[in-house]
Amino acid sequence: MAEAAGLYYEEHGSGPPLILSSGLGGSAAYWAPNIAELAAHFRVIAYDHRGTGRSHRALPEAVSLADLGQDIVALIDALNLDRALVLGHAIGGLAALEAARSAPHSIARIAVINGWASLDPQTERCFDVRLALLRRAGVAAYLQAQPLFLFPPQWLSDHDAELRAESAHQLAAWPGDATIEKRIAAARAFDCRDWAGAVGAPVLLACAADDLLVPAANTARLADLLPHSRVAARLWGGHALNITDPTILHDVVAFFRS
């Protein structure tokens, strides 16, 4: 098992280093459907966030997305990378913005899938529902409901068997209720409106118009704040856009290679 800075990671392919940072679940396994395409162009480094998966499980009392950003920088330093590209899903992308804020010399370019500048009321409502499920119905119910927030309805129906199998894997690797609560609290607290204008790295912001968890207008608001940003939008794909519509990776690859 490869580990650096207390973080489990795996590498694929060769070329410019590209770090993949997952969303709320935090597991490198989230990117499994995308690895082959990305590894054809980059040295892909997928890692488990601290507190999740195979990474160090101890977390402080409170966790922020700035802390997750520092983990990205620590991984870059531990692997002796000069600079890295970062592709992040939701809070994984926001953590990359935090990394670019604190260590601009370490981050070359960032792509964020379905991110936000500050918490949207719809996102807050979804977090409330997920926490209520976790606290009142338990982990199995939380995981059973999770795909509803990530995928479009027909995609859910078409991939029901594999989603149920994935839920079983997630249950076996559950990081603990306290860890998930801390990560949701970090997502809620993120607000870059006062400092996004200082991010010097070019940023690609990808979004789907039918994202239930993070309405697409959040991408437009974030783009207005970032001085070197562009938007790649899709009409369909939901919150886990890179899984449902991998053509978004064509935009990501072109952006990273430009």
Residue pair 20/44 in contact (Cβ under 8 Å)? The answer is: yes
pLDDT at 1: 64
Nearest residue to 160 (alpha-carbon basis) of 173, 176, 144, 139: 144
Is residue 206 very low, low, confident or very high in pLDDT (cuts 50, 70, 90)? very high
pLDDT at position 57 = 86
In this prediction, residue 58 carries a pLDDT of 86
Residue bearing the bigger pLDDT, 57 or 207: 207
- Answer whether 159's CB lies under 8 Å from 151's CB: yes
Distance of alpha carbon 14 from alpha carbon 42, whole angstroms: 5
Residue 89's pLDDT is what?
A: 99
On average, the pLDDT of the chain sits at 97
Q: What's the pLDDT score for residue 38?
A: 98
- Whether the Cβ atoms of residue 131 and residue 181 lie closer than 8 Å to each other: yes
Half-sphere exposure of 97 (CA within 13 A, CB side): 35
Say yes or no to pLDDT of 142 above 90. Answer: yes
Domains delineated in the chain: 3-257 (3.40.50.1820)
What is the SS3 string spanning 81-99? CCCEEEEEECHHHHHHHHH
Among 1-5, 23-27, 234-238, the minimum mean pLDDT is found in 1-5
Calculate mean pLDDT across residues 232-251.
Answer: 98
**Which residues in 41-64 are b (16+ Cβ under 10 Å) and which e?**
bbbbbbbbbbbbbbbeeebeeebb
| In contact, 8 and 54? CB cutoff 8 Å | yes
Query: Mind listing the pLDDT tens digit for each residue in 45-83?
Result: 999 999 999 999 889 999 999 999 999 999 999 999 999
Residue type at 158 in one-letter notation:
D
Q: For position 257, what pLDDT does the model report? A: 97
